[in-house]
Amino acid sequence: MRDMNPTNDRSIRNIPVSSNHRRPPQPMHTPEDMMDDMPPPPRQPRPRRSFAFVWWTAGTVLVCALAGLVASTIFQGATVTVHPKTEPVVLPSSITAVPNAQGAALGYQTMSVTQTASTSAPATGSQKVSKPATGMITVYNAYNTDKQPLVANTRFEAPDGKIYRIKEAITVPGGTKKADGTITPGTVTATVYADVPGAEYNRAESTRFTVPGFKTDPRYSKFYAESQGPIGGGFVGDEPAVSQDTITKAQAALKQQLDEALRAATLSNIPAGFIPVEGSLAVNYTALTQAAGPNGTAVLGQSATASSVIVRASDLAAEIAKQMVPIYNGEPIAFEDPTQVRITLDPANKETTGPLNLNLSGSPKLVWQFDQNAVREALLGKDKSAFETIILNTFKPAIASAEAKIRPFWKATFPTSADQIIIKVAN
């Protein structure tokens, strides 16, 4: 009889299994996990760099090195920034200047310009005329330092023997003796008239005249004159007749036109480095000329020469420094801005010859001058450590301070070529 006790059931389905012997539940595998379980692909061997690549790299490095060396050679140089010594100055109210002075005194010069103008006017017929040529001359005294009076009707002779005269007396200022004994001539401008009427005395070209009255005198070769612009208007014959009222009005208009043109020309022709003296402009007009024009008109013409006084700015700066700056010792000096100085002719001057009293105004600054080429020469090939010593010892007091930059930055000496040193003056 089968044992019905469950505990005696020994079939394999009923054999108890220990928990220690049970297989743990297996996780589900994803495609990614399957990929991770795959063995890595075999490594491919790296290709060896070719010799061409190595040579190319070395060549590039060499070229760059050579380019750097060449660049450092081509672009090497130095820039020196200089701060010159400056000094604000109070101007004296007035100062005395003499013609073409040299040395201790302040000098002035006289410049002249010539302008010509013309206009047309209705003619009322014709008239017979006999007119001498007229024009402006500048008379020179290169004989001595004394002024020389010339009386009215003093003669001046052209190289072809033609004679011209002044109608009014003039005084030629004395010259200025230089250190070498030569004389800078004193000058004055005057109007001359041909001794004989006629067109043959007209002169378009510049002419030098002698003074026949000095022919047997040592002054003959040292007193002379030169024409300023054309000498013209000489005519004998028939010319258009113009009413006196028309001539008066035309001459007034021409003088106004010439005056404006002369003032503009004077300002534009002032030499560099000079300051004009306001109130010194003197204008001399030639006689009015008449010539036949088209359609029954007359052409009225006139010339004028203006002379004015100018002063060299550096000479005035030095003279003011002597008077107003105790530390000044005669070094080259100038105005930082010459337009800050105004010079006017003192009304007490009766004429613009001989010593002149000049009135001054403005608030300028004086600046000491130095030779830029000398600075370059002093620095050639020198060690940068010696820069300040060279600048301050050699160029004192003109240079107050200076800085230098040398290219390329690793160089410690200045270039040996002057054109590789740039000098900049600080404002």
Structure tokens given for 143: 């004989």
Quote the pLDDT of residue 239: 87
Q: What is the mean pLDDT of each run of 10 residues along the chain (427 residues)?
A: 46 50 54 55 58 66 58 74 95 89 78 91 90 92 91 96 95 81 85 94 94 94 92 89 93 94 94 95 87 89 90 95 93 95 93 87 96 95 94 92 93 93 92
Quote the pLDDT of residue 5: 47
Structure tokens given for 145: 């330092």
Q: Is the peptide bond before 408 cis (omega within 30 degrees of 0)?
A: yes
- Give the 3-state secondary structure of 274-314: EEEEECCCEEEECCCEEEECCCCEEEEEEEEEEEEEEEEHH
Quote the pLDDT of residue 244: 92
Q: What one-letter code names the amino acid at 346?
A: D
Quote the pLDDT of residue 350: 80
Q: Do residues 211 and 156 make contact, with C-beta atoms less than 8 angstroms apart?
A: yes
Phi, psi of 409 (to 5 degrees): -65, -20
Q: What is the residue-wise DSSP string for 86-150?
A: EEE-PPPSEEEEEET--TTS-EEEEEEEEEEEEEEEE--SEEEEEE--EEEEEEEE-S-SS-EEE
Quote the pLDDT of residue 4: 45
Distances (CA, A) of 218 to 73, 155, 159, 179, 222: 66, 17, 19, 22, 8
Q: Do residues 427 and 110 make contact, with C-beta atoms less than 8 angstroms apart?
A: no
- Cα separation of 364 and 87, whole Å? 9
**Side-chain-side CA neighbours of residue 213 (13 Å):** 13
